[in-house]
Amino acid sequence: MKLINIKHTNLVAALVLTFCSFGVYAEESKDAAPINKDQVEGRVDEATGKVKEATGVILDDKGMQVEGNIQKNVGKVQKGYGDLKQEIQSDK
């Protein structure tokens, strides 16, 4: 039961940190073009993956650690794709 509560607590913490980071990013980039869907989803996946990976390390759960690492890297790729897409659109 405690393990489930810890996982739920970590998920809530990941969501709060993710939304806080969006606010910081939005504040820093008022002059830049708005971010696209791929950039947002990539950043969310990357942050969630980092939290999941850290949770796996803390709980000594190799499966969760690997899953978090994969999700983090998929998020990086998607964020990079969104960045590239935005750069191409801004050059037109």
Structure confidence at residue 53 (pLDDT): 95
Is residue 75 within 8 Å of residue 45, measured between CB atoms?
yes
pLDDT tens, position by position, 31-73: 566 889 999 999 999 999 999 999 999 999 999 999 999 999 9
pLDDT tens, position by position, 5-32: 666 666 666 666 666 665 555 555 555 6
Rounded Cα–Cα distance for residues 7 and 69 (Å)? 16
Q: How long a stretch of residues is the chain?
A: 92
- In whole angstroms, what separates CA 41 from the centre of its chain? 7
Consecutive H or E run containing 63: helix 62-91
Q: Where are the domains of the chain?
A: 2-91
Give me the half-sphere count of Cα atoms (radius 13 Å) on the Cβ side of residue 4: 1
